[in-house]
Amino acid sequence: MKPRRLIVLLVALAALPLLGGMRGCVKTQPDSNHTSPAAPAFFRGDLHYHTTYSEDARRQMGDDVATSMRLAEWAGLDYLAVTDHRTDKVLSDPNFTSSKVVLLGGEEWGGTGHAGAIGISKQVPEIDGSRGPATRNAQVQAAIDDCHRQGGVFIINHPSSKGDIWIWNVERFDAVEVWNQPWHFRNPDTEPKEVDLTIRGMGLDQVGFVPNPWIRPCLQAKGGSNEQSLAFWEGILDDGIKVPMVGGGDRHMAFVPGHPSTWIYATELSPKGLLDGIRRGRTWVNRGPDGARVDFRADGDGDGSYETMLGDTLPLGGRIDFRVEVKGAVGGFLEVVANRTVRHKVQITSDPFVFSYSDTPSAYTWYRADVYEVLKDNVPGGQEFAQLIQNDPSHYATGVLNLIVFAKNYGLTFGTVPTALPTVVFDDRYDRILNLSVPRPGYCRGAMTSPIYAGSK
């Protein structure tokens, strides 16, 4: 978490006892009584979480491993990946255990450009700066290959985040973290000049380094860092590289893990089953336990069974029937996107809501579904927050402070796990505001899926 956001959050949390008691409202509480479905199924969890083994989380009054395990259980997650910065210490911590949550050991690899190395048995080698800038890109590729030799997956994290942009020109990564923290939490936009500043800062300009082809174009997008990360991932898909998207709460302190939640389809609820689900592209993400749910499938043989799932590839030249089912998003709308073009945009008028359509692709095409939920009316502080950051995203920190102050009286509770700082639980109305979509005023990101593919490039 950036220093400015940390200061704002700590001030807000320190001020909460002075702001008066709670007034009546419908509150959102983590589902501590959640029971995991029987496999095969989609399982919800968080792929990006920090304990006090991450130095920044320790400074920010984060939580140790034992407390983190209880928090994940209270949050009702099916799984949790612990990804501390540049260390594998969690793997040998005796408190890294749970009878309710499947645990994935890992680390957040890197300094310039971050990645989740998940499912590893030991730390993945970091870049050795003493070997000189000419070797650095090859060292990143070697880290990916080392992660794979250990049976893990390598996920590019928040690729457009200022100071951490992903410039590396590498292959065989397994996924891209498109949705980091609440959708509008990472702001303002990262400027395109960051690419050249990063390259010069590492001396890579002196050795003829060429960054990956997706980072410069994605920074032209507006609406926040997650919108830019979405453009980064879509550029990868356009080039015929079939990798899924995931989300990550990136928790350091104060907030509930699983916001957003990454849902992974697995044939067994185990580390192996979950990692295989990521490799197969069977992922979708929503803003949290109260967010919209989406099921996107296809039928390529006309038998009406919709057996084709996220991550699957169908042949070209034949008719493909698609089916999208959305739950919990009445008043919002569904967008079906194909090769970055919105093919269908329909209002969600029922719960559940089902939309079907057909296509006959003649060239490589990727398809995904986006669900937008409507912002609730008359949420105290909500309109002020939305207006403030839509007009000038640089005011986001001030907006968060204002929102916490309002929400204390109207829609804020605290977790029951004794964490170092109170665990902040916004109710559903405020969670929607934190996930608002700047390009779509009045709506928030509810859910989005990884693609179904037709053909190859």
pLDDT (tens digit per residue) in 279-290:
999 999 999 988
User: Is residue 321 domain-resident?
Assistant: yes
Task: Report the pLDDT value the prediction gives residue 251, as an integer from 0 to 100.
Answer: 96
Helix (H, G, I), strand (E, B) or coil at 60: coil
- The CATH number of whichever domain residue 130 belongs to comes to 3.20.20.140
Of 256, 286, 316, which closes a domain? 286
State the pTM of this model.
0.92
Average pLDDT of the residues in 9-15: 48
Task: Report the pLDDT value the prediction gives residue 394, as an integer from 0 to 100.
Answer: 55
Of 240, 257, 286, which closes a domain? 286
Q: What are phi and psi of 333, to 5 degrees?
A: -145, 160
pLDDT band at 211 (very low <50, low <70, confident <90, very high): very high
Q: Which of 118, 115, 88, 89 is nearest to 103 (CA)?
A: 118
Listed in order, strand segments (DSSP E) in 310-404 are 313-314, 320-327, 333-338, 341-347, 353-359, 365-374
Residue 397 has pLDDT above 80, yes or no: no
What percentage of the chain has pLDDT greater than the value 90?
74
Q: Which of 369, 116, 365, 371 is nearest to 242 (CA)?
A: 365
Q: Which residue has the higher pLDDT, 103 or 412?
A: 103
Q: How far is CA 154 from CA 62, 148, 176, 250, 437, in A?
A: 25, 8, 9, 16, 28
Residue 315 has pLDDT above 50, yes or no: yes
Give the integer Cα–Cα distance in Å for 295 and 284.
9
The answer to whether the beta carbons of residues 62 and 51 sit under 8 Å apart is: yes
pLDDT band at 368 (very low <50, low <70, confident <90, very high): very high
Residue 25 has pLDDT above 50, yes or no: no
Q: Do 264 and 404 fall within a single domain?
A: no
Most trustworthy range by pLDDT among 210-224, 398-412, 432-446: 210-224
Q: Which residue has the higher pLDDT, 1 or 380?
A: 380
- 59: exposed, middle or buried (C-beta count within 10 Å: 0-12, 13-18, 19+)? middle
Q: Do 103 and 205 fall within a single domain?
A: yes
Calculate the average pLDDT of the chain.
Answer: 89
Alpha helices in 31-166 (DSSP H): 55-59, 65-74, 136-149
Q: Do 261 and 318 fall within a single domain?
A: no
Of 225, 256, 286, which closes a domain? 286
Task: Report the pLDDT value the prediction gives residue 254, as an integer from 0 to 100.
Answer: 85
What's the maximum distance between 2 C-alpha atoms anywhere in the chain? 65
- The CATH number of whichever domain residue 357 belongs to comes to 2.60.40.10
Residue 403 has pLDDT above 80, yes or no: no
Task: Report the pLDDT value the prediction gives residue 203, as an integer from 0 to 100.
Answer: 97
Q: Do 319 and 430 fall within a single domain?
A: no
pLDDT band at 425 (very low <50, low <70, confident <90, very high): confident
Average pLDDT of the residues in 213-236: 96
Residue 387 has pLDDT above 70, yes or no: no
User: Is residue 231 domain-resident?
Assistant: yes
What's the total number of domains in the chain? Answer: 3
Average pLDDT of the residues in 353-364: 98
User: Is residue 154 domain-resident?
Assistant: yes
Q: Do 169 and 196 fall within a single domain?
A: yes
The answer to whether the beta carbons of residues 247 and 57 sit under 8 Å apart is: no
pLDDT band at 395 (very low <50, low <70, confident <90, very high): low
- 24: exposed, middle or buried (C-beta count within 10 Å: 0-12, 13-18, 19+)? exposed
Q: Do 332 and 260 fall within a single domain?
A: no
Q: Among positive and negative, which fits the CA dihedral 340, 346, 352, 358?
A: negative
Q: Which of 427, 401, 405 is nearest to 414 (CA)?
A: 427
Q: Do 271 and 302 fall within a single domain?
A: no
pLDDT band at 439 (very low <50, low <70, confident <90, very high): confident
pLDDT band at 110 (very low <50, low <70, confident <90, very high): very high
Choose the weakest-confidence range: 166-175, 230-239, 383-392: 383-392
User: Is residue 14 domain-resident?
Assistant: no
DSSP secondary structure string for all residues of 397-447: HHHHHHHHHHHHHHTEEE-SS--SS--EEE-HHHHHHHTB-TTSTTEEEEE
Return the number of other C-beta atoms located less than 10 Å from residue 428's C-beta: 18
Average pLDDT of the residues in 295-313: 97
Average pLDDT of the residues in 304-319: 97
User: Is residue 330 domain-resident?
Assistant: yes
User: Is residue 169 domain-resident?
Assistant: yes
- Helices 3-15, 396-410: axis angle to 10 degrees equals 20
Q: Summarize pLDDT for 177-191 with one digit per residue, the tens.
A: 999 999 987 667 899
Q: Do 182 and 237 fall within a single domain?
A: yes
Task: Report the pLDDT value the prediction gives residue 143, as an integer from 0 to 100.
Answer: 98
What percentage of the chain has pLDDT greater than the value 70?
84
Give the integer Cα–Cα distance in Å for 350 and 329.
8
Helix (H, G, I), strand (E, B) or coil at 54: coil
Task: Report the pLDDT value the prediction gives residue 380, as an integer from 0 to 100.
Answer: 61
User: Is residue 418 domain-resident?
Assistant: yes
Q: Do 302 and 407 fall within a single domain?
A: no
Q: Summarize pLDDT for 239-270 with one digit per residue, the tens.
A: 999 999 999 999 999 889 999 999 999 999 99
Give the integer Cα–Cα distance in Å for 95 and 6.
27
Task: Report the pLDDT value the prediction gives residue 11, as an integer from 0 to 100.
Answer: 45
Q: Do 422 and 446 fall within a single domain?
A: no
pLDDT band at 81 (very low <50, low <70, confident <90, very high): very high
Q: Do 208 and 108 fall within a single domain?
A: yes
Give the integer Cα–Cα distance in Å for 255 and 8.
14
Task: Report the pLDDT value the prediction gives residue 289, as an integer from 0 to 100.
Answer: 81
Q: Do 277 and 194 fall within a single domain?
A: yes
Give the integer Cα–Cα distance in Å for 10 and 381.
19
Give the integer Cα–Cα distance in Å for 106 and 84.
7
As a dihedral over the C-alpha atoms of residue 372, residue 241, residue 262, residue 107, rounded to 10 degrees, the angle is -140
Amino acid code (one letter) for 432:
R
Where do we find the tokens 């309109």?
A: 383
Average pLDDT of the residues in 344-358: 98
User: What residue numbers bound the domain in which 429 lies?
Assistant: 382-434
Task: Report the pLDDT value the prediction gives residue 176, as an integer from 0 to 100.
Answer: 98
pLDDT band at 383 (very low <50, low <70, confident <90, very high): low
Burial 28-38 (b: 16+ CB within 10 A, else e): bbbeeebebee
Residue 22 has pLDDT above 50, yes or no: no
User: Is residue 15 domain-resident?
Assistant: no
